[in-house]
Structure 1
Amino acid sequence: MTGFARVRRTLAAGDLVLSIKSVNHRGLDLHFRLAPDLDSFESALRSAVRRRVARGHLDIHAAWDRRASDGASGLNLPLLEAWLAAFREAAREGGISATPDLNAALRIPGMFGGPAPAEPSPEIERELVAAAEEALEMLNGFREREGAAIAQDIRRRCESISGLAAQIESIRSRAAAAFHARLKERLEELLRPAAIDPQRLAQEAALAVERSDISEELLRLQVHTRQAAELAASGGEIGKKLDFLLQEMNRETNTLLSKTAALGEIGLQITDLALAAKGEIDKIREQSLNLE
C-alpha cells in the first residue's frame, strides 16, 4: 500500500530528518539513502522497519545536519588542510602549476561543522530509530485506512462472484434436457431414416451431462469465495493467503468453462457468467497486491 511520512528531530549535536515513502510490492523491498554520518545505523533501521511492515517497496531517507561546536567558525579546518595537502601533492607529482579552488573545497561534504566525531553518537542512533518508529506509525495509519477501503471493495466483488455462481447453478440444472434435445437432433441427422432407440438416447445424454457436470467446481468456487470475503474482513496480514484463494478460484472457473463448452446455448450463457466471475477475480488480484 502507498503512504508517506516525515519526522524531524532536533538534537544538541544537530538536526535529523527521516522520511519514508511506501508503494505497492509483492514482498518487502527496502531501499536506504542515509547521510554519511548515519550509514552505520542502517542495520538498526532495517530491523525497526521489519518489525512494523511486512510488504511493500519502501524508500527510507535520513538527513543529518551536524551543528558546529560553540565558539567554532563552523569550518572543518582539519578536512580543509588535508584537502590542500592532497592538492599540492597531486600538483607536484603531476608537474603542473595550479592554484587550489577554495569554492570547490567548500562544497565538499563535511567541510562545515568542524571535524566529524570519531564514532557516531549512541544518542543519534537512539533518536534515529525513534524517528523511524514514529514515521512508521504514521505510515501504517495511511496504509490501514487504504487497506480498509480495499478490503471493502474485495468483499463487494466476492458477493458479485457468489451471485454469478448461483446464476450458473440455476442454468446448469437445465443441462440434461438441453443435452437430450441436442443429441436427438444430431442423431436424427446422422441416422435418418433409421429409428432412434429412446433408451440409448437417454443413456448417451446422461453420459454427456455427467462429463460436463460442474457441480463440484461451483461448490468449491463458492467456498473459496466465502473464505476470501471472510479473510478480507479479518484484517491483518492477508495478502499471501488471498493470493492462494484467488489461484483456486481462477482454476475452478477455468475448469467449468472447459466443461461447458459443448452445451450449446446453455453453454454460452454459462461462459458469459464465468468470464464475468474471472473478471472480478482479476480485479481482486490487482487489489491484493496492495495488501500485506
Structure 2
Amino acid sequence: MIKSMTGFGKATCELPGKKISIEIKSLNSKQLDVNMRLPNIYREKDLILRNEIANKLGRGKIDVGFYVDFLGTEKNTSINTQVIENYYNQLLPISDKLGLTEKTDILRAIMPLPDTIKTEQAELNEEEWKIIASTFSKAIECLNEFRNQEGKHLNTDIINRIENIRKLASQTESFENERIERIRERILDQLNELKEKINVDKNRFEQEMIFYLEKLDVTEEKVRLANHLDYFLETINNEEMVGKKLGFITQEIGREINTLGSKANHAEIQKLVIQMKDELEKIKEQNLNIL
C-alpha cells in the first residue's frame, strides 16, 4: 500500500523540571530534506535523529521541532554576584552625575549590563535522553500513521483514474471500423479526382493503401497501454516507496495515449484521448505526493 509524503506527528514527555514536545511535519520532496531545530543541549544527538528519520521516513521535506517548557525555575541560570558588585562599586562614585539617587536606580542601571546573568551549560543526562529518544520515535510513528491514512485516500483516487483510462481506451473500439472506412473513402475520393490526370497502378495503389491503413492501426498502442496500466496497479498494490517508479510508468502511459491521439484521425476518438490525458495529469499530480 502506498504512503503519502505529507504528514504530521507529535509526542510529548515530562522530565524533572521540564516538559518536551516534539513535532515532525513532512511535505513532498524529490529527496530527503531535513530541517532540525534542537536546543543546544541536544545538538550532539543531531546525527542520530537524522539517521532515524532517513530509515523510517524515506524521503520528503521534514521539519523537526523540539519545544521545551520549564515547569519551575531554570537551574542553569543564576545572578553573577561578583560582576554586579564590581559594576556597583564603579557606578556609586558617579551616581550623582548620572542622576542615580537611589540604590534601586543603580541596580536597574546595572542589570542590563553584560555578564550580570550567567548561564551554565547543562550536561546531557543519558537517562533523560532515553526518554526523549523514545518520544521522538513516537512522533515518527504518529507521522507515519498520518502518511498511511493519506496514502489510502491517494490509492483509491489513483486506482479509480487508472480504471477510467482503461474504460476510455476500450470505448475507442466502437469507432475503429468507422474511422478506417472514412479514411479509405477520403483517399478514394481524392484519387478519383486525379484519375483523368494521372495513370494509377491498381495493384500498387492497393499495396500502398494497405500499408497506410496499417500505419494508422492503434491495436499495438492499446495493448501496450493496457500492459502499462496493469503494471501500474501491480506496483501500487505490492510495493513500498514507489513514488518515483510510478512516475516512470505514467510517462510510458502518456506516450501510448499521445501516439493513440496522433493516429486517431477521428473526432470522437480525439475526445476520448483528451479525457485520458486529463485523467493522467491528475494521476501525475497525485503521484508527486507518493513516498
Q: Normalising to structure 2: TM-score of the pair?
A: 0.80
Other-structure match for 1:76: 78
Identity among equivalent positions (%) equals 29
Pairwise CA distance, 1:101: 5.8
Other-structure match for 1:22: 26
Q: Paired residue for 1:116, among 112, 121, 129?
A: 121
Pairwise CA distance, 1:173: 4.1
Pairwise CA distance, 1:162: 0.5
Cα distance change of structure 1 residues 231 and 24 upon mapping to structure 2, 3 Å threshold: same
Cα distance change of structure 1 residues 170 and 103 upon mapping to structure 2, 3 Å threshold: farther
Letter in 2 for 1:148: K
Q: Secondary structure at the match of 2:253?
A: helix
Cα distance change of structure 1 residues 17 and 120 upon mapping to structure 2, 3 Å threshold: same
Q: Secondary structure at the match of 1:29?
A: strand
Structure 2 unaligned spans of 5+: 88-97, 99-105
Q: Paired residue for 1:218, among 193, 218, 222?
A: 222
Could you list the per-position Cα deviations for residues 86-134 of structure 1 after superposition, in whole angstroms to 9, with x for gaps in the alignment? 9xxxxxxxxxx9985635879x9xx68x6222x4222343223211110
Q: Is the 8 A contact 1:154 1:232 kept in 2?
A: no
Q: Secondary structure at the match of 2:172?
A: helix
Pairwise CA distance, 1:212: 1.8
Q: Secondary structure at the match of 2:217?
A: coil
Q: Is the 8 A contact 1:2 1:143 kept in 2?
A: yes
Structure 1 unaligned spans of 5+: 87-96
**Structure possessing the higher radius of gyration over alpha carbons:** 2
Could you list the per-position Cα deviations for residues 140-170 of structure 1 after superposition, in whole angstroms to 9, with x for gaps in the alignment? 1111111011101111011111111112244
Answer yes or no: is 1:153 the counterpart of 2:157: yes
Distance 2:246 2:144 in 1: 20
Other-structure match for 2:272: 273
Higher relative contact order (CA 8 A, sep 6+): 2
Q: How does 1:252-263 map to 2 (within 5 A)?
A: 252-260=256-264, 263=265
Could you list the per-position Cα deviations for residues 63-91 of structure 1 after superposition, in whole angstroms to 9, with x for gaps in the alignment? 23467789x6x74345x8789999xxxxx
Q: How does 1:175-254 map to 2 (within 5 A)?
A: 175-192=179-196, 199-234=203-238, 236-254=240-258
Letter in 1 for 2:34: L
Distance 1:150 1:47 in 2: 27
Other-structure match for 1:131: 135
Per mean C-alpha deviation after superposition, the further-off stretch among 229-238 and 214-223 is 229-238
Cα distance change of structure 1 residues 236 and 53 upon mapping to structure 2, 3 Å threshold: same
Q: Is the 8 A contact 1:171 1:270 kept in 2?
A: yes
Distance 1:84 1:171 in 2: 97
Cα distance change of structure 1 residues 167 and 199 upon mapping to structure 2, 3 Å threshold: farther
Distance 1:82 1:158 in 2: 74
Cα distance change of structure 1 residues 203 and 179 upon mapping to structure 2, 3 Å threshold: farther
Q: Is the 8 A contact 1:188 1:196 kept in 2?
A: no
Task: Give the aligned length.
Answer: 271
Cα distance change of structure 1 residues 2 and 77 upon mapping to structure 2, 3 Å threshold: same
Pairwise CA distance, 1:236: 2.6
Q: Paired residue for 1:54, among 51, 54, 58?
A: 58
Other-structure match for 1:102: 111
Distance 1:187 1:219 in 2: 33
Could you list the per-position Cα deviations for residues 15-38 of structure 1 after superposition, in whole angstroms to 9, with x for gaps in the alignment? 222111122223322111111222
Pairwise CA distance, 1:4: 1.8
Q: Is the 8 A contact 1:8 1:16 kept in 2?
A: yes
Answer yes or no: is 1:45 the counterpart of 2:49: yes
Distance 2:86 2:274 in 1: 75
Distance 1:82 1:197 in 2: 112
Q: Is the 8 A contact 1:17 1:63 kept in 2?
A: yes
Q: Is the 8 A contact 2:9 2:146 kept in 1?
A: no
Q: Secondary structure at the match of 2:8?
A: strand
Q: Normalising to structure 1: TM-score of the pair?
A: 0.79
Per mean C-alpha deviation after superposition, the further-off stretch among 44-53 and 232-241 is 232-241
Cα distance change of structure 1 residues 255 and 101 upon mapping to structure 2, 3 Å threshold: farther
Q: Secondary structure at the match of 1:76?
A: strand
